[in-house]
Amino acid sequence: MRPAAPGQREFVWMRWGLVPHWAKDTSIGSSLINARTESAATKPTFRDSFRRRRCLIAADGFYEWKKIGKQKQPYLIHMSDDRPLAFAGLWDRWGDGPERFESCTILTTTANTLLRELHERMPVILEPDDYDRWLDPNVSEAETLQMVLTSSAASELTVEAVSPRVNNVANDDAGVLAPPPPPPF
C-alpha cells in the first residue's frame, strides 16, 4: 500500500526485490529484498526511495529458519492476536513501455528478544498509528522516519514451528503450516 491522491492510499502489486530506476538491468533486485534501517536513508541504492517512495507491505506473517543439527527448522512468525501486519517498505519504478514494473524491499531492524535466537534481524512491523507518518510524502527527514523503524515488542509476536515443506515453493497449500513431524526415535 502506498500514498495515492492526497489523503488516499492504493494497493498495488510489486515485484519483491528492489530494482532502482537507475539500474542497468533487473538482476540487482534479487540481492535487494531487504534494506537495513540503519543505512537506508543514506545508502545510494535506497536513499531516493526512502525520501520519496515509502510503502506498507501487507502480510499475515513471515518465516525464519533455525539450524538444528544438520536440518533447518522453519518457523512462522505472526501477530499474537492474528491481525494482519504491515512491513515498512520502499519501492521504485524501473524501465519503460512494456518492460516497466514496480518493485519493493522490506526494511529490517535488529531482532527483538523473541526472534534473536532465530536471526539477528527482523522486518520492521509498523504499528497502525505509525502508518500515516511513514507514508506521508511531506515527511522526508530521516530522523523523524527512524522513530517508527524499531523492533516490534516480543509480546506482540508468536513463533510456531511449521513443516519443512515450506522450503519448497511448489508446496502452496495449508500443509506447510502444519507442525513439523516428531523427531525419529
- Report DSSP state, residue 145: H
Instruction: Look up the CATH number of the domain holding residue 88.
Output: 3.90.1680.10
- Domain span including residue 73: 2-167
**147 within some domain:** yes
Mean pLDDT value across residues 168-178: 87
Residue keyed to cell 536513499: 47
**15 within some domain:** yes
Q: How many domains does the chain have?
A: 1
**104 within some domain:** yes
**175 within some domain:** no
Per-residue model confidence (pLDDT) at position 183? 64
Per-residue model confidence (pLDDT) at position 16? 95
Interatomic CA distance for residues 72 and 102, integer angstroms: 33
Mean pLDDT value across residues 83-91: 96
Per-residue model confidence (pLDDT) at position 185? 55
Per-residue model confidence (pLDDT) at position 15? 95
> 168 CB contacts (<8 Å, ≥6 apart)?
none
Q: Is the model's pLDDT at 184 over the cut of 80? A: no
Query: Which is nearest to 32 in space by CA: 124, 104, 134, 94?
Result: 104
